[in-house]
Structure 1
């Protein structure tokens, strides 16, 4: 099955809204435009085989196959690429003495057509008449030709002492060029630009809609957190567990070295499924959802599903764009991807990382509302940093681990290796952070206090202290 059919099937299969489908890349329509471009080039004597022959004698730069700026023998460009209307054009260097293309072994028919174009340009320049009516031969209905005159070329014999690049530059200064406007190309890229603008608009509106839902949910969580009732505290703990599972799943962004960065749709979908399964397992076990939490959780999951759906739609349209540009170059030999695609990929639809932008909003408006215990663990014992000692290097450790380090006379910070451990004292306990931890992690703080008391008793009375704390009722 060809890509065009696969593309249409994907749009229909996923049941996208009609507005989305109307904004998608019109792959079949653009394919028909490519056929008209081929016919136009053939009418000028420049079919694919001939253009391939011309490109063989053009210097290709080291970056992405781009044509060297110093090579003027053949150049495909686009005037007004940032405006609504623009005209792609093919610039061909010719020998001013006979109008022949430079360094190209072409058919006699192509040479004849290009000579007619050159003669037409000369006539236009000499008579100062309108260029649009001066084209003769097969280019008569193709629009105007611009002709850049240069000084008559002098014979430039090969100089063994002169570098070839300098010779080429001197030679280029004595060449003349003709510019062939390509009407069908203009139609192709105008359609493409218009559709990319539609996709930009669609993506922006959908993103704004998702952000409104995220902000609304964030306000609900803030209201819940400000409520000091026992029920509210229980619901906050449920949300804390949900967000812990969500953060561990790393649905859209990965922090692992092997695949750090944004995930594509396929991997994001897989990680969202892992999160959904883990959440379901918790619901079947210890995680009990009240009706308000269940409703808010449903909206949170729906936000993620919408983002995944929009990412998938973005991916298939990006693939359609890559395919149609590849087909354009394959059938026309105009090297459009290396010449003008940079003006296309600057559109927000192609350049913007949708998942990263939306995940930032989720993090700022939702995840940070309910702090996660993992963000406040001591780097040594991996339990809550109670009481938090902030060293001069600004790293934080729980007071129990700091006492152990000082007893062992370890002077260096375990994280940055700065000599700051032995100078720490009671004044370095972060009182504001203590208040924050006690307010947000009551159960964890209470357990850490018990553990610290037990450890202190063992230090003073020995290992038998632990067993003496166990009370046996007869």
Structure 2
């Protein structure tokens, strides 16, 4: 299946709203425009074969004479931050008679270009002057004139308008997502400030949900191998894994109650909409690349290299959308309910209770600090600064300890029990641990 047909089929599926489809790249219209560009160039004696040969001649000449001949033919598509593109085809002429410098061009092409290089009163509308180094080391002053094309301007006007529409759509949809995320944030803050037993169970359920969501890394990866924004296909796969993990914790999700489940449904819809929007922008970006490639292939004008630099910084890029929305989710939702993973000791990977804050600023659980000091290891495991042996009871972060006791009661109780057992082993030996196991049994 040709790309154009596949693109239309993808847009015709039910997953995209009508408004989105109306803002999509008009691939067929742009293809027709390319045909008009071809016809216009052919009428000037610059058909694809002639332009291909001219580019080849220019490249060969540039190698032979120090790189200056590359200015004999230029096609540039200047773009700005507002995605406004201005195409321009220029060619070097002989200042003596206004004829094209490349003598090998066909008589018809030379005659047409020579006529374009003159105004009605016979003067040449020179737009620039260049110096070319000819064999022998002498400078030769040449002039460049712009060849007027209307069809390529039409092509880039259509493209400019449609890219602007896509950016407007993306910004509008992103704003709506941020409004929904902010509303969920307000509900979670209200839930957290409540002191009812019911709210505590709901908070624990949300903590579990956000932990699963963070672990899934749906839209952004923190792994070295694929760090950064995920493409739509990979994000869809990770989202499916997240839903699978949720299904395995239904007993905890039940604790959310009616309103909590409604909020969870809205959170899932935000993710689904973001997935759909990223996929929509990806196929439009692909359509953009395909139509520019087709433009260059059929016209030999080599526009893609000029346009690509501007498009790289366009909001149309789905990666930018993923980063921005994930940041909003993190700030507005994930930070409201503290996650245990953010408070783990980097040595034993359990909760940093009781938290010892070293002079370098890094935090460890008290048990790991005791072990390090007993082994006379002075360097911080994180930054290698010699601060461990200086630590004392004054380094206990009491505010952080209260925070942990309030937000991670189960983890704190487990860690306290582990510390008590380890302290008993230190005092009475390994038999203490065996005795504790017998007591539990």
Whether 1:190 and 2:157 are equivalent positions in the alignment is yes
Query: Which residue of structure 1 lines up, in the alignment, with residue 397 of structure 2?
Result: 430
Residue 312 (structure 1) aligned to one of 279, 301, 321: 279
Query: Which residue of structure 1 lines up, in the alignment, with residue 110 of structure 2?
Result: 111
Query: Which residue of structure 1 lines up, in the alignment, with residue 364 of structure 2?
Result: 397
Matches within 5 A, 1:72-471: 72-78=71-77, 88-103=87-102, 105-118=104-117, 120-121=118-119, 123-125=121-123, 146-148=125-127, 158-159=135-136, 162=137, 170-171=139-140, 174-283=141-250, 287-289=253-255, 290-350=257-317, 353-469=320-436
Gap regions ≥5 residues in structure 1: 63-67, 126-144
Checking the alignment, whether the CA contact within 8 Å between 1:389 and 1:430 is kept in structure 2 is yes
Cα-to-partner distance string for 1:153-197 (whole Å, 9 max, x where unaligned): 99x8733xx4xxxx5xx23xx112221121111111111100111
Cα-to-partner distance string for 1:313-347 (whole Å, 9 max, x where unaligned): 00000000000000001111111112344344443
SS of the residue corresponding to residue 413 of structure 1 reads coil
Cα-to-partner distance string for 1:189-245 (whole Å, 9 max, x where unaligned): 111100111111110110000000001001111111111211111111111111111
SS of the residue corresponding to residue 20 of structure 1 reads helix
Q: Aligned residue pairs: how many?
A: 435
Shift of 1:348: 2.0
SS of the residue corresponding to residue 384 of structure 1 reads coil
SS of the residue corresponding to residue 353 of structure 1 reads helix
Shift of 1:442: 1.1
CA RMSD of aligned residues (A): 2.7
TM-score (structure 1 length as normaliser): 0.85
Checking the alignment, whether the CA contact within 8 Å between 2:220 and 2:323 is kept in structure 1 is yes
SS of the residue corresponding to residue 200 of structure 1 reads helix
Q: Which sits farther off after the overlay, 321-330 or 455-464?
A: 455-464
Shift of 1:397: 0.7
CA distance in 1: counterparts of 2:334 and 2:134, whole angstroms: 73
Checking the alignment, whether the CA contact within 8 Å between 1:93 and 1:177 is kept in structure 2 is yes
Residue 39 to residue 432, structure 1, CA distance change in 2 (3 Å) = same
Query: Which residue of structure 2 lines up, in the alignment, with residue 19 of structure 1?
Result: 19
CA distance in 2: counterparts of 1:71 and 1:462, whole angstroms: 83
CA distance in 2: counterparts of 1:453 and 1:189, whole angstroms: 73
Shift of 1:116: 2.0
CA distance in 1: counterparts of 2:238 and 2:201, whole angstroms: 27
CA distance in 1: counterparts of 2:440 and 2:395, whole angstroms: 43
Shift of 1:103: 3.8
Checking the alignment, whether the CA contact within 8 Å between 1:88 and 1:183 is kept in structure 2 is no
Shift of 1:452: 1.3
Q: Which sits farther off after the overlay, 40-49 or 13-22?
A: 13-22
Checking the alignment, whether the CA contact within 8 Å between 1:196 and 1:347 is kept in structure 2 is no
Residue 229 to residue 104, structure 1, CA distance change in 2 (3 Å) = farther
CA distance in 1: counterparts of 2:319 and 2:252, whole angstroms: 40
Shift of 1:463: 2.4
TM-score (structure 2 length as normaliser): 0.91
CA distance in 2: counterparts of 1:197 and 1:382, whole angstroms: 49
SS of the residue corresponding to residue 336 of structure 2 reads coil
Gap regions ≥5 residues in structure 2: none
